[in-house]
Amino acid sequence: MTERIVVIGADAAGMSAASQAKRIAGDTVEIVAFERGAHTSYSACGIPYWVAGDVDELERLIARSPDAHRRNGIDLRMRTEVEEIDLAAGRVAAHDLAAGRSYREGFDSLVIATGAVPVRPPLPGVDAAGVFGVQTLDDGAALLADLDRVQPRRAVIVGGGYIGVEMAEALVRHGVAVTVVDQAAQPMATLDPDMGAAVHRAMEHIGIDVHTDTTVIGFETGSDRRIRAVLTAGGSIPADVVVLGLGVRPNTVLAHDAGLPLGDHGGLRTNVQMQVLGQDHVWAGGDCVEVLNLVSGQYQHVPLGTHANKQGRVIGHNLAGSYATFPGVVGTAVSKVCHLEIARTGLRERDAKRAGFAYVTVTVQSGTKAGYFPGTQQMTVKMIAERGTGRLLGVQIVGNEGSAKRIDTAATALWNRMTVEEMTALDLGYAPPFSPVWDPILVAARQAATAVRQR
């Protein structure tokens, strides 16, 4: 008998699940996918680079169009919003936004891949013309059209997280004077403040004005209702355009209304097969779920495309009767602002404290290539290890070109619960154009191992 699968949300997690299930199970599954937006399988991750001009057109950010999915046998219903899930009856209520028509669709299995909603503070003036989010391709297109039409001179980015700093670069590349405002003590709060301070200094060096410890209290508009300034507790910052980068929260209202329980961070909780806890026929993945941090043992909301794609693939395998798991994350992320690369994995100091670890930290400066090799760049590596056992707990990197992806060595070590002593023996590649003879990760591991022995 054909199994009928309904997927809600047709981007990274949803369409990875649908495509994988179809690939393995073929005609034994019938898949109906609902997407309320106008695009499928798109890269929101590419929006800052599209706005910056590195990517020339929207189509290049779309991995697979609706028609391509339909050719693969998926019944994809675009511009159609799922408004209700009835778990007992095994059906969803959908609303075709173009036709204005509502109908019901039954399922044997349900995949919830509804993503996240951007935080948009309910402050006066937040809906003014010239204030943009960058969550969807349509948001990116609206911002680009505005930049083209208004030719702004001054931009304010609200939020100094990775989307904020990437958008700061995008606007710098448009020749706009950029100010980043963040209420934290340093930008990039996913790093420890000492490493965030290095990002702060580098951004100012690039010419970006960074206001930290600054809370936005509203947005001042002109008589044309267009943004004029961002109002903060410390004064007003003139702005011709504003980009909000305040993070996201799981989009789980639909799931919650259906009676599915949520975790502490508002996301759905699943088992390692991505099956919603307590539900045999409901699966969830991507930005709407919480994930287990394998280092701290605690649940987190980590809204990243890398996880959404993997989780979708796992769901697809399991739906098709195969077996796959997503055990959790170690918290790896990379980003950049102009020439400055930023990377992190594992726990920050505050996470280590919260998880009850006693720890040592070391911070080393190194080059990205042999010291004599042309083009070698500076990078800083901070490493955190458990006091006593020497288990690696986290690594942060800030540096110029060639720095960030070194985090993957640390992420692999974390995944395998290595000690910093064990890491000192890692057989990493060396040749002068790629690395000093002691790779910066090995230098940090060596110093961390010494610190563990001494304390």
Which spans of this chain sit near ligand FAD (rule: CB under 6 A)? 8-9, 11-14, 34-37, 44-45, 47-48, 81-82, 113-116, 134-135, 163, 251, 254, 286-287, 303-306, 308
Q: How far is the CB of 209 from ligand FAD (least distance, A)?
A: 21
The structure tokens listed for 356 are 């009850």
The structure tokens listed for 4 are 């009928």
Distance CA 414, CA 330 (A): 7
Q: How far is the CB of 8 from ligand FAD (least distance, A)?
A: 5
In the bound state with ligand FAD, the residue whose beta carbon lies nearer, of 126 and 428, is 126
Q: What are phi and psi of 223, to 5 degrees?
A: -65, -20
Evaluate whether 157 touches 179 at the Cβ level (below 8 Å): yes
Distance CA 382, CA 385 (A): 10
Q: How far is CA 119 from the centre of its chain?
A: 14
Q: Which of 277, 344, 121 is nearest to 290 (CA)?
A: 277
Q: How many CB atoms lie within 10 A of CB 425?
A: 9
Distance CA 233, CA 366 (A): 39
Q: What are phi and psi of 210, to 5 degrees?
A: -115, 120
Catalytic residues: 45
Q: Which of 250, 260, 249, 245 is nearest to 86 (CA)?
A: 260
Q: How far is the CB of 62 from ligand FAD (least distance, A)?
A: 12
Q: How far is the CB of 303 from ligand FAD (least distance, A)?
A: 5
Q: How far is the CB of 188 from ligand FAD (least distance, A)?
A: 14
Evaluate whether 197 touches 398 at the Cβ level (below 8 Å): no
Report the greatest alpha carbon distance in the chain.
Answer: 70
Q: Which of 281, 294, 284 is nearest to 263 (CA)?
A: 284
Evaluate whether 443 touches 381 at the Cβ level (below 8 Å): yes
DSSP classification of residue 338:
T
Q: How far is the CB of 339 from ligand FAD (least distance, A)?
A: 17
Could you tell me the sign of the dihedral formed by the alpha carbons of 281, 284, 288, 289, in that order? positive
Q: How far is the CB of 425 from ligand FAD (least distance, A)?
A: 31
The single residue listed with the structure tokens 């919650």 is 256
If DSSP codes are grouped into helix, strand and coil, which group holds residue 302? coil
DSSP classification of residue 276:
B
Q: Which of 138, 185, 135, 141 is nearest to 160 (CA)?
A: 185
In the bound state with ligand FAD, the residue whose beta carbon lies nearer, of 11 and 349, is 11
Q: How far is the CB of 19 from ligand FAD (least distance, A)?
A: 12
In the bound state with ligand FAD, the residue whose beta carbon lies nearer, of 135 and 400, is 135
Distance CA 403, CA 377 (A): 8
In the bound state with ligand FAD, the residue whose beta carbon lies nearer, of 8 and 392, is 8
Distance CA 39, CA 62 (A): 8
DSSP 207-229: T-EEE-S--EEEEEE-TTSBEEE
